[in-house]
Amino acid sequence: MRMIQIRRFGILTALFLGSAGSAYAQLPGAVFTTLMNGTRVNANIYQAKCNATGVWLDGGPGPNAPQGAAGLPNGDYYFQVTDPSGKTLLSTDPVINRRFKVTAGVISGLSGLGNHNTSVDFDHNATTIELCPFLDTPNPGGVYKVWVTPIGKFDGDPTKVDNTCGRGCFHGFVPADSKTDNFKVGGGAPLACLEILKVIDQNGDGVINNGSGGWDPLANWPITIIDPLGTSNTFYTPTVKECTFAQLPPGNYTIIEGTISGYAVTINWLDGQYLKSPDVNVAVRIRSANRELIFGNTPVN
């Protein structure tokens, strides 16, 4: 096992193809895939399986989220890679080689016998783990699923690569006790960037004004984005203009700002134009051009 130390670079993005944890998962917290430095990949579409541009396991808080948000319970876990149905195991090394530790709600390192590479997500002082080695998926769309389960919930012999188990489990991983995340390898060149910002319309005039009585950027406001496949993911707004979602494939996206008591929406600003009837729900079509969306809210007495 070797540690690769790198500095955080690039932009924060969000995953779409698979939500962090399946609908049936009861394990609290979040697990997701990133690049080796913790950078999210839009639509969870990776250019390669392995190395720096490949798929790495991360977990706990998402981009711009507080350290305690979506933290995994502390302890030791196993992971595996399968096809999206879970029926075909793609990981090739013994389960014990895929054991890792969670400390303070985030992955803190490998605790098994394997030689999976590790790196650092500097945003939350967490460890990322390279999922390779794993086989190519039989899924025609190039989709994979990564599973995470506490070692106490694993059903089988961790010294083996694969395990036959009952109770509707998959290779020793029981769905009700696991977190999963889908990802895709391949799928064409990235096309567009979506920039999202949240501001406060202090004077409530429904206009983005600079200077006194105008607006102030607001960080950590929850925003949910739904991709063309219908998968949703919630992230938290930054304080500066940046390419929030990069490498977006074309399609229709729905952007929903979280509702917080004491504020009412007054502004939807898309590509420099005000939208009629401001709403918390905005539809955005992605083609090849970059797009910019601003939500504005005013305090309600």
Q: Tell me how crowded residue 247 is: count the other CB atoms within 10 A of its CB.
A: 17
Write down the domain spans for the chain.
Answer: 31-185, 192-299
CA 78 to chain centre: 19
In this structure, of 169-173, 186-190, 219-223, 242-246, the range with the lowest mean pLDDT score is 186-190
User: For domain 192-299, which CATH number applies: 2.40.340.10, 3.40.50.300, 3.10.20.600, 2.60.40.10?
Assistant: 2.60.40.10
Task: Please name which of 77, 87, 80, 99 lies closest in space to residue 28, comparing C-alpha atoms.
Answer: 77
pLDDT tens string 220-271: 888 888 887 677 777 777 766 666 666 677 788 999 998 878 888 899 999 9
The Cα-based distances of 247 to 43, 114, 259 in angstroms read 8, 33, 28
Residue 46, H or E segment: strand 45-46
Residues 6+ apart with CB under 8 A from 158: 78, 94, 95, 96, 99, 151, 172
- Which 3 state secondary structure label does DSSP give 97? helix
Among the listed residues 107, 110, 120, the one whose alpha carbon sits nearest the alpha carbon of residue 38: 120
* Cα radius of gyration (the chain): 20
CA-to-CA distance for 248 and 227, rounded, in angstroms? 9
Rounded CA-CA distance 221/180 in Å is 25
Please work out, in degrees rounded to the nearest 5, the angle formed at the alpha carbon of residue 227 by the alpha carbons of 224 and 231.
Answer: 75
pLDDT in tens, 74-104: 999 999 999 999 999 999 999 999 999 999 9
The predicted model gives 3-17 an average pLDDT of 33
